[in-house]
Every structure is written in structure tokens, then in C-alpha cells.
């Protein structure tokens, strides 16, 4: 395309790379799964079309609404999908976009310099997997409309009115024949849309839930600097955010970073608005330049002697957002969320080296504070190494011998075994007697484990209960973590259904999320659900797990029903514990998942971190949602 007609966007710019035949047969290949995650993916594909218009400079506002009938509507004020006839297919361009896989303006180099769209599967996949879909386009002074059912046109494209504006409106109803659930989660969608607003400075994104009246409005003129402020809102920052931006060879790199007084690093990377959870070349370039720049500065100004700061030391307490926009992204990795473009590493390295170096020279007091924190991290890392060696020599970490308090199972195939982490010795005793020793292992813990949110790695290794847990699970932790070495397929937290039990469960989840995160992400961590009451009438007994169920059961059983309230697991004999909480045929387990890493980090920081005021506000705001409280 020549410079003169770069804003042209019509049928000639729509290129087609394939048809829709396989989408309904194998939806998982195109949207990952037919679970709730895949359902939300449909919305992201539709929104990505609007984001592409924003990236090209034509769209300033996107409105998403979850409708009462279960459908979803996405409206943007971009140029509108082209409606002129496509010469090759002899149909309107919009119909090509809606019915042909890999069709759109993003495949040529003229219309969109960069584009999102997860892997280019586009709105046609959302159309194929929807019971019905309606598209309305405002363009060239007219309003056009076309309706589809399960990917096939139900009507011709027709003009239904006049307009002065431009833009596209898409409403679709996901197909219940395809999806396990068609019930959208407002909070999950909202989190991703907030992320997109941060990554696209100045773009207004509104999301509303017509079913509940919930609404969110996102617009961040500070872009990823606002993102850093959001991520660190419950932490204590050491300085104002540092921001760099560089454009080279049609690639744009933006980086915002800030250190806080916590011990965790929190780095989010994006390529063309896609969350690259597995990292890639942009992250590698950032890490290399960060460590080198701090070491060079520290040596030049005699802030460290012979020791060298490791990458781990340089990242302690760092919050960073790396956002790159590239014209032809290459995605790799198991879930195609790892950036592979080799040229990006060099661009990121050079931007971080020069800009961060300048910042440190211009802000010597902040630089000294940062390097002092890193030097302390280095000392703690050395102490952690010694503690790790000590525990390894005792056989705790190398799998040479398992902890004495672990009652292991007979099954050696990790895919068939499960570990119950049980609060207290008496409950541990009941669990050991009641379990099926073929595949169930029991590890009793004494008291509350260390709150890892407030401790460095050396303190974690010195904590007996945690060292015992690491040994039993077998994966190692942090940088040494290897999911293939896990000794159990399910790690089940089994605590009392009271305040103390919930606190212990929260401490354990914090540990798993911070130091064994892939264990959580891959669905290996569960919460057992012990009953709250045993109801009896004559020879009949019923176990119930909440107040609502108790009321329903009492009403069903009639008068003079005996009610036993379980204060703790230790009150149940081995047979009862097996029947209610451990038997795979009758138990209830809650699988712990991470739908949204930003939100998860925020909640762990809030509940387990140092700041009291945000925690109090969180508890007050959510108190009305508590269904049962045992004080």
C-alpha cells in the first residue's frame, strides 16, 4: 500500500487463509477448550477486532455488555468492517470476515501495522461457535445488518438506516451444544478488559452486566504506568514508576517498572496486547539488561565489593510491565503464549540498559536504596543456599528419605496418588486410620506455617513444616521447581471448617501460589470440604456442608432430628472422616485455579501482606458475601 491510501480499508484488503469447516468439530483447537475459559475466549476474539482498530488509530471507545438473555454485545466506534463486495468470493467483505477462518485485514501489511487477535482465528470462530450472531455496521453514512446461526448466514447483508457515525456492533449467543457452560463471569471478563485498557493508553472500555447491574469503566491516560500503580496499590513503593518507550523497525517497546518493599517479583509481559504468560524474548532481554545494569552501576560506585548481584537479587520486590507491539509476532510454547521474535530481545536490552542506566545516574539516592535491598537479598540467598544444603544433607530435599511424619501411600505412579495436608496431630491420626493407603498419603502439620508473603527464602527453608512439605511433594520450589518430579497428582489441603482452619488454608495457598505456582496453575491443588453437621433420625444419618443444606435437610427429615456440629476434623472418627471428606465416591473437593494472575497477586498481597487498612476495607466490603461464620 502506498502512503497516500494507508487509511483505506475495504474488500481488497481482506485476505483469506482458510474455511470454517473444522471449528465446530474441534473447537478446542481454536479456542483452547470448551470450558468457561473457551467461552470467554469468544468475547476476547470479538474485542480484539475493536482493539486492532484502536491500535490503527481509528477507535477510541469499546462497550461490552452481558445481556439478560445470556448473549453478549461488543460495540466500537472504529471504521466499521468493510461491506463492499469481495471479488474472489462474490460476497460482502463482512460475510468473508464472519465465515472464513483466518480472514481479515491483519494479514496484509497495509491496514494494521500491528494487531492483536490471539492467533488470528478471529471473529469467524466466535460466529461458528454461536447459536446466533448479529453484526451491525455503521459505514459510509449507512447502517448495515446481517444475521447468522452457527456460522452460516441467515439473512443477506441489508441497509437498515442512515447514520453519521462509524463502527461495528456484534451480538452473539454462545452455543450450548458446544460449551460446558454458557454463563459468562463478569469479574473474569472485567479483569482482562482492564488489562487491555492499561495496554492501550487513552482507550475507553466500558463493561456492564445487565443481569446484575454491575458496571466498570476503564480509561487510563497513563497507560502501563497506571498499570504499575494498580499492581502496587497495596504495597509500599520505593520510588515513582520508571517508564521507557522505543520504536525501531516497526516494533514498539514500552516498559514501566517500580520497586517495592516486598520479596516477590511481579513481571507481566505482553505482545500485541496478548498476555505472554510463558515469557519469551522480550522478558529474556529485560532480565539480562536489568541484572547487568545494576551490577555495572554498583561496581562503578563501589556499592558492592567482590560479590555479584544475581538476576534473582535484582528482581526482588520489582513490579514491571513489558508491552511490545510487533508487526509479525511469532508465538511458541505449550499454550502459544511465549514470544519468539529474536529481534525483540536486542531492542529490549538496549532500551533497558540505556534508560535504566541514565535513571540510576540521575537518582543516586534511589539507586543506593535499590542496591542496598538487592545486597540484602544476595545475603539472604546465600543463607537460603546454606539452609537448603543443610536440609538436603539431612535428606529432606533430595528425595533420599521422606519425612518421618508422612504416612506415604503404596501407589508409586504419581498420576494416581494424592496427598492430604492435614491440620493437627489428632486429625492426622484419624486421617491415617481412615484413608485408603493404596493411593492416599497423609502429612499432618503442627500449627500455622510461616506467612511466606512476609519472609525471604532463607526463613522459608528454616521453617520445619514448610521443609517437610517441600520434601513430601518432591517438586522443589522457586527456580528449582520441576512439576514432573511431583510425587502426587492431587495435593489436598484438609483443615477445620473454622476461622483458624481457614487461616491455615490461606497460609498454605499463599505458599503454593508464591513458590509452587505451576502446581496451582495445572490444577493439582485442592481444598477438602469437611461437613459442618451430622443430622440423625432413627437409623438415618445425613452429613451437610453448610447452613442452607442443614435447613433443607431438617425440613425434609421432620421433627426431633438430632444435630451434631463438628468443630474440627479431630471430632470425627476415622470411618466418618473417610465417608464424608476422603472417599472419592462421596467427597466434595474444590479445585484451586488461577484465572487471573493480576487479581490473584492482588488478593494475596492484600490478605497476607503488611498493610492493614486495605485489608480492613476488603473485609468490610466483602462481609455481606460471607454465608457462614464460625468465630
Catalytic entry in 229, 312, 423, 453: 423
Cell 513444616, located at residue:
465
Residue with cell 518432591: 474
CB 42 within 8 A of CB 73: no
Quick one: how far is CA 356 from the chain centroid? Answer: 28
Strands 540-544 and 533-537: antiparallel
Contact 427, 433 (CB under 8 A): no
Residues whose CB is less than 8 angstroms from the CB of residue 469 and which lie 6 or more positions away in sequence, other chains included: 421, 443, 445, 449, 511
Judge contact between 295 and 308, C-beta under 8 A.
Answer: yes
> Between vectors from CA 42 to CA 37 and to CA 48, what angle results, nearest 5°?
115
Residues 6 or more apart in contact with residue 183 via CB below 8 angstroms: 36, 70
Query: Is 498 among the catalytic positions?
Result: yes
Place of cell 485455579: 593
> Quick check: 622 and 606 in contact, CB under 8 A?
no
Q: How far apart are CA 571 and CA 501, in angstroms?
A: 14
DSSP string across 296-356: HHHHHTTSS-S----HHHHHTTEEEEEEEE-SS--EESTTS-EE--HHHHHHHHHHHHHHH
Q: For this structure, is 482 an active site residue? A: no
- Burial level of 428, CB count in 10 A (0-12/13-18/19+)? buried
Short-list 55, 106, 51, 50, CA closest to 80: 50
Neighbours of 18 (CB within 10 A): 12
Cα dihedral 274/279/285/291 (nearest 10):
130
Enclosing H/E stretch for 557: helix 547-557
Using CA atoms, how far residue 89 sits from 100, 101, 117, 548, in Å, is: 10, 14, 23, 59
Q: Which of 500, 521, 571, 595 is catalytic?
A: 500
| Cβ neighbours around 389 below 10 Å, total | 12
Q: Which of 498, 521, 595, 599 is catalytic?
A: 498
* Residues annotated as catalytic (active site), given as ranges: 423, 496, 498, 500
Amino acid at each position: 500500500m502506498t502512503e497516500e491510501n494507508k487509511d483505506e480499508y475495504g474488500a481488497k484488503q481482506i485476505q483469506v487463509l482458510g474455511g470454517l469447516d473444522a471449528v465446530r468439530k474441534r473447537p478446542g483447537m481454536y479456542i483452547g477448550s470448551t470450558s468457561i475459559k473457551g467461552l470467554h475466549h469468544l468475547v476476547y476474539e470479538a474485542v480484539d477486532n475493536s482493539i486492532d482498530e484502536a491500535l490503527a488509530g481509528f477507535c477510541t471507545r469499546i462497550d461490552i455488555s452481558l445481556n439478560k438473555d445470556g448473549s453478549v454485545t461488543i460495540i466500537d466506534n472504529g471504521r466499521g468492517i468493510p461491506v463492499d463486495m469481495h471479488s474472489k468470493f462474490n460476497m460482502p467483505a463482512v460475510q468473508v470476515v464472519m465465515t472464513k477462518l483466518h480472514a481479515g485485514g491483519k494479514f496484509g501489511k497495509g491496514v494494521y501495522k500491528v494487531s492483536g487477535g490471539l492467533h488470528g482465528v478471529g471473529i469467524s470462530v466466535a460466529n461458528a461457535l454461536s447459536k446466533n450472531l448479529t453484526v451491525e455496521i455503521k459505514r459510509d453514512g449507512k447502517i448495515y445488518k446481517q444475521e447468522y446461526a452457527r456460522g452460516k448466514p441467515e439473512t443477506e447483508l441489508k441497509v437498515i438506516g442512515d447514520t453519521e457515525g462509524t463502527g461495528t456492533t456484534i451480538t452473539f449467543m454462545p452455543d450450548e451444544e458446544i460449551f460446558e457452560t454458557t454463563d459468562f463471569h463478569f469479574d473474569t471478563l472485567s479483569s482482562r478488559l482492564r488489562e487491555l485498557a492499561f495496554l492501550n493508553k487513552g482507550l475507553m472500555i466500558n463493561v456492564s452486566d445487565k443481569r446484575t447491574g454491575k458496571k466498570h469503566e476503564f480509561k487510563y491516560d497513563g497507560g502501563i504506568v497506571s498499570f504499575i500503580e494498580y499492581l502496587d496499590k497495596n504495597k509500599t513503593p520505593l520510588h515513582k514508576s520508571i517508564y521507557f518507550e522505543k520504536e525501531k523497525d516497526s516494533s514498539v517497546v514500552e516498559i514501566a517498572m517500580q520497586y517495592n518493599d516486598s520479596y516477590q517479583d511481579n513481571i507481566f509481559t505482553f505482545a500485541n496486547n496478548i498476555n505472554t504468560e510463558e515469557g519469551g524474548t522480550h522478558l529474556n532481554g529485560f532480565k539480562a539488561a536489568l541484572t547487568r545494569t545494576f551490577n555495572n552501576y554498583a561496581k562503578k560506585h563501589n556499592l558492592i565489593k567482590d560479590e555479584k548481584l544475581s538476576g534473582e537479587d535484582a528482581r526482588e520486590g520489582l513490579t514491571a510491565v513489558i508491552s511490545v507491539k510487533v508487526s509479525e509476532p511469532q508465538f511458541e510454547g505449550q499454550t502459544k503464549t511465549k514470544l519468539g521474535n529474536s529481534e525483540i530481545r536486542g531492542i529490549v536490552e538496549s532500551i533497558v540498559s540505556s534508560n535504566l542506566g541514565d535513571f540510576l545516574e540521575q537518582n543516586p539516592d534511589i539507586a543506593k536504596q535499590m542496591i542496598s535491598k538487592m545486597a540484602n537479598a544476595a545475603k539472604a540467598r546465600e543463607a537460603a543456599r546454606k539452609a537448603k544444603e543443610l536440609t538436603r544433607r539431612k535428606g529432606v530435599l533430595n528425595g533420599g528419605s521422606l519425612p518421618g511424619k508422612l504416612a506415604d501411600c503404596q501407589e508409586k505412579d504419581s498420576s494416581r496418588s494424592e496427598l492430604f495436608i492435614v491440620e493437627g496431630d489428632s486429625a492426622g491420626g484419624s486421617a491415617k486410620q481412615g484413608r485408603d493407603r493404596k493411593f492416599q498419603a497423609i502429612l499432618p502439620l503442627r500449627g500455622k506455617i510461616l506467612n511466606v508473603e512476609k519472609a525471604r527464602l532463607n526463613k522459608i527453608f528454616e521453617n520445619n513444616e514448610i521443609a517437610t512439605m517441600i520434601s513430601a511433594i518432591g517438586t522443589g520450589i522457586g527456580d528449582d521447581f520441576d512439576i514432573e518430579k511431583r510425587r502426587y497428582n492431587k495435593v489436598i489441603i484438609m483443615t477445620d471448617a473454622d476461622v483458624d482452619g481457614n487461616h491455615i488454608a490461606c497460609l498454605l495457598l499463599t505458599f503454593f501460589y508464591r513458590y509452587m505456582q505451576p502446581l496451582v496453575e495445572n490444577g493439582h491443588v485442592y481444598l477438602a470440604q469437611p461437613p459442618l453437621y451430622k443430622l440423625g433420625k432413627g437409623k438415618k444419618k445425613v452429613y451437610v456442608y453448610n447452613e442452607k443444606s442443614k435447613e433443607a435437610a431438617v425440613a425434609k427429615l421432620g421433627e426431633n432430628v438430632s444435630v451434631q456440629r463438628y468443630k474440627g476434623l479431630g471430632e470425627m472418627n476415622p470411618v466418618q472422616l473417610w465417608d464424608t471428606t476422603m472417599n472419592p465416591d462421596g467427597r466434595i473437593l474444590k479445585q484451586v485455579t488461577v484465572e487471573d494472575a493480576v487479581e490473584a497477586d492482588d488478593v494475596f498481597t492484600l490478605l497476607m501482606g503488611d498493610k492493614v487498612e486495605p485489608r480492613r476495607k476488603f473485609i468490610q466490603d466483602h462481609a455481606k458475601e460471607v454465608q457462614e461464620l464460625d468465630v
